[in-house]
Structure 1
């Protein structure tokens, strides 16, 4: 089965590639975490990059990394700073949706650059896709992933994507040690979008909900038992979101038994007759592979492949 487009999707704008000896900004738009500044700086320096750490990274207000005003100011400042070549989030957690209705999307669009994170950061991926229209990256967080010594594909996937070594026509690499599972075979072309399933559901009914028309939906989650995954998927089905999709790429759903998850995915997506591929290592898992959100891709669920159909960064 091939899912043919019902309308032509225009590509999201690629962003400037991360240059050699570039400057990476660190912000904390969600939860707090202690940062070993010397370790982080040395880690990046060893790979040829410098860090600019924005003030909110060192703040804490309960389960938030500083006040809403501080976290929003850092987000805006990191995009506005012409010296910052890419932006990585410190951690996920909670609180990112609190910023959405105050973001200056014109500022972000006019200063587009690689923006990286996952988990609670999903809210920003969805909002930027909808209101700024450039590619962002569902990829490692600074603390948990890059400084947390994730398996080697995490780092190589991250830098290869941002440096522009993964080009249009590339089959995205997936480690053979983690077999992919075809839930529903077929080929679909669409815009890759999504992230954390709980966050996708949390913003439903808001102006920042996923624009699902023509999308290859990527989903992943952690600390959600099977019945809650069922509830979240049912929420998206009843909202009409699943019916607009061209295909689904399922990442790691940590803590859920694989066979039980496969049965639920089959029950959910078989009636929709769209390709579904599961087991992609991106999100709350190790390794954590970088995916370009908003980019045009081809999903070959039967062939167990994801192909990039546009350049996601541009080298100057």
Structure 2
């Protein structure tokens, strides 16, 4: 067996971990990207009920939470209000979108730093996650009101367990691969969608590649497409790339289904910037393979997964050959979805094939 390779236990900075909420507390529900709750109320209202009934939290909405077309300044004001409200103990995104990057220039870093709270979100919320990292606040990659909490039929048990642990507990939590998963959507405007759970298919487990070792470090990353926008705009990455040395990189792709060449191009740019090779471990989320615009057949979906993995492996071979990678981790745009601490500690144990996060 290969000798375990231990990454920097203190890899990366140590963002502040805000206190956890408790059942009965108020949780802010914000829409930093898109006001979809206003035009697709069924999954949103279901998600709010589950926040209340399943988790015992009291959702608090803001002026743009249900407002399509809210300006970046209006959405920033909701973020400020959510963090500044002393009666609110956590913040969760209603859903993602595609222009949260325009909100970042309107944020008051001093205000948010003075009122740190756990934030939950993914996809376009990579912008706010990266912003909080640069502000020195740990957050959580995963969880949204409309998708995970508003899942038809019921919440997926693995999703609910992970989200509950991330919300309310502290300490190590071992991630587990899903036996079955799904990524085919149904019409949220149709009430019949919510009569039964989504279809699933066999999961196949996680796949490990690269040098085996044990890497423990602070987690950073997010949605690949959104990270590319941050890199192009030179926002929330920072000039001192050494802060990423020894960190665990988290990557996932969205329902936009970026091509393998696009994914490779983004990772190549990260490599050319001197960023990709700083991470001794990569958690690559299970790719979403279906969208309403591209309803892939199972055969097409399988080819898409293989091509994306080959693109990632090519980039790692060229820019980060010492990085241990785990593919098809149940994070990001997949069902179930595991919550991963962003700015928190992740331990990737190659010989034991185990991933443990610290909530």
TM-score by length of 2: 0.78
SS of 2:174 mapped into structure 1 = coil
SS of 1:78 mapped into structure 2 = helix
**Contact 2:129-2:342 at 8 Å conserved across structures:** yes
Work out the number of aligned pairs and report it.
303
Q: Report the CA distance shift for 1:240/1:152 in structure 2 as closer, same or farther (over 3 A).
A: same
Cα distance in 2 between the residues matched to 1:180 and 1:227: 23
Aligned-pair distance for 1:30?
0.3
Which residue in the other structure is 2:131 paired with? 127
Structure 1: segments with no counterpart, 5+ residues: none
Matched, 1:181 2:207: yes
Cα distance in 1 between the residues matched to 2:113 and 2:125: 18
Aligned-pair distance for 1:8?
5.7
Which residue in the other structure is 1:262 paired with? 309
Cα distance in 2 between the residues matched to 1:298 and 1:42: 34
Matched, 1:281 2:289: no
Which residue in the other structure is 1:99 paired with? 103
Cα distance in 2 between the residues matched to 1:293 and 1:8: 13
SS of 1:58 mapped into structure 2 = coil
Stretch of structure 1 that moved more, 294-303 or 253-262 = 253-262
Which residue in the other structure is 1:110 paired with? 114
Q: Report the CA distance shift for 1:20/1:218 in structure 2 as closer, same or farther (over 3 A).
A: same
TM-score by length of 1: 0.88
Cα distance in 1 between the residues matched to 2:20 and 2:176: 19
Which residue in the other structure is 1:163 paired with? 168
Aligned-pair distance for 1:11?
2.2
Aligned-pair distance for 1:3?
4.7
68, 72, 84: which one aligns with 1:80: 84
**Contact 1:23-1:52 at 8 Å conserved across structures:** yes
Correspondence list, 1:193-212, <5 A: 193-204=220-231, 206-209=234-237, 211=241, 212=244
Structure 2: segments with no counterpart, 5+ residues: 181-202, 290-300
Cα distance in 2 between the residues matched to 1:189 and 1:43: 34
Aligned-pair distance for 1:56?
0.2
